[in-house]
Amino acid sequence: MKDSRTGYVRKFETMGMVDGPGIRTIAFLSGCPLRCLFCHNPDMWKTDPEDAITVDELMDKLRRFKPYFGEDGGVTFCGGEPLNQPEFLYEAMKACKAEGISTCLDTSGFGRPDTFDDILSVTDTILYDIKGLEEKKYREMTSAPIRVTHQFLEKAQEHGVATWIRVVIVPGFHDTYEYMDELAEYIAPLNNIERIELLPYHTMGVNKYELIDKEYPLEGVPPMNRDVCADLQTYLREKVETLRKDLK
């Protein structure tokens, strides 16, 4: 992998407690090749020269927050899609590891397969966003092919990286027990899954489409009912555990 000490980070959030283990600083890398129907950050699709930052500048920021990380916390790289900047991502994560800062990658798994081994070698935890399980539905949801995402998860298995599964539940798309059964069949054989989370679809990003003069793809789709989403999550987790027992 070529060396790249400069990347594009749109913003940082500190004291995060839901994007990986412990207390974390979240670095939002700009740029994303996907066009997910439920995307709530369309302003992150493209990089901007003003987002430019070097690895050294990134580390200067992270060192200031290191005392708050404790034993479990660290930095989470999300996006956009962080795998869209593989060289910078690798250099940044390698620098974090060199200074004892835990690394977490929030990703859809869509990137260049030739970069996966290097990136996973410096990744402690993955937040893996499942957007679909088969080609047709995945392409409808993201406008991209699914194969490379399966390759990423297979590589994560090989490297033994702790993985949290995350799935956004959109009414009329994913909110069925049949889909939970499909997810369970997919997840159960994986041996590095530490957590499974279903995230209810929301409409808080609609105004961002207006700002970039784009039509919102899910106009009229209501936010996902949180109680129903919680019930689906309970069902999915229990189904996965049942299938794992059967696999032993």
Q: Phi and psi dihedrals of 232, rounded to 5? A: -65, -40
Percentage above 70 pLDDT, the chain: 99
pLDDT recorded at residue 108: 98
202 lies in a domain?
A: yes
Q: Is residue 4 very low, low, confident or very high in pLDDT (cuts 50, 70, 90)?
A: confident
d(CA 45, CA 217): 15
For residue 155, what pLDDT is reported? 98
Is residue 9 within 8 A of residue 58, CB to CB? The reply is: yes
Question: 37 near 203, Cβ under 8 Å?
Answer: no
Q: How far apart are CA 177 and CA 182, in angstroms?
A: 9
Residue 136 lies in a domain: yes
For 135, the domain range is 6-247
Q: How far apart are CA 38 and CA 216, in angstroms?
A: 9
Interval 168-179 mean pLDDT? 95
CA distances from 196 to 59, 83, 121, 176, 230 (A): 30, 22, 23, 16, 12
Report the pLDDT value the prediction gives residue 247, as an integer from 0 to 100.
87
SS3 228: helix
Average pLDDT over residues 147-172: 97
In a domain, 101, yes or no: yes
Checking if the pLDDT of 1 tops 90, the result is: no
Does residue 118 form part of some domain?
yes
Q: pLDDT value at position 88?
A: 98
Looking at residue 248, its pLDDT comes to: 76
Kindly give the pairing relationship between strand 125-129 and strand 162-169. Answer: parallel
In sequence order, the 6+-apart residues with CB closer than 8 A to the CB of 3 are 87, 91
| Within-domain flag for 1 | no
C-alpha span between 50 and 230 (Å, rounded): 40
Q: DSSP character for 224?
A: P
**Residue 220 falls within a domain, yes or no?**
yes
Mean pLDDT of 218-239: 97
Considering the domain boundaries, does residue 127 fall inside one?
yes
The CATH number of whichever domain residue 213 belongs to comes to 3.20.20.70
pLDDT digits (tens, 9 = 90+) for 19-63: 999 999 999 999 999 999 999 999 999 999 999 999 999 999 999
Band of pLDDT at residue 188, cut at 50, 70 and 90: very high
Largest interatomic CA distance in the chain: 53
Q: Is residue 208 part of a domain?
A: yes
pLDDT digits (tens, 9 = 90+) for 86-125: 999 999 999 999 999 999 999 999 999 999 999 999 999 9
User: In this model, does residue 2 exceed pLDDT 60?
Assistant: no
DSSP assignment of 172-184 equals TTT-SHHHHHHHH
What pLDDT, in 10s, does the model give residues 59-69? 999 999 999 99
Tell me the three state secondary structure of residue 98. helix
* % the chain with pLDDT above 90: 94
Q: H or E stretch including 140?
A: helix 135-142
Q: What is the pLDDT of residue 207?
A: 92
Asked whether the predicted pLDDT for residue 200 surpasses 70, the reply is: yes
Number of domains in the chain: 1
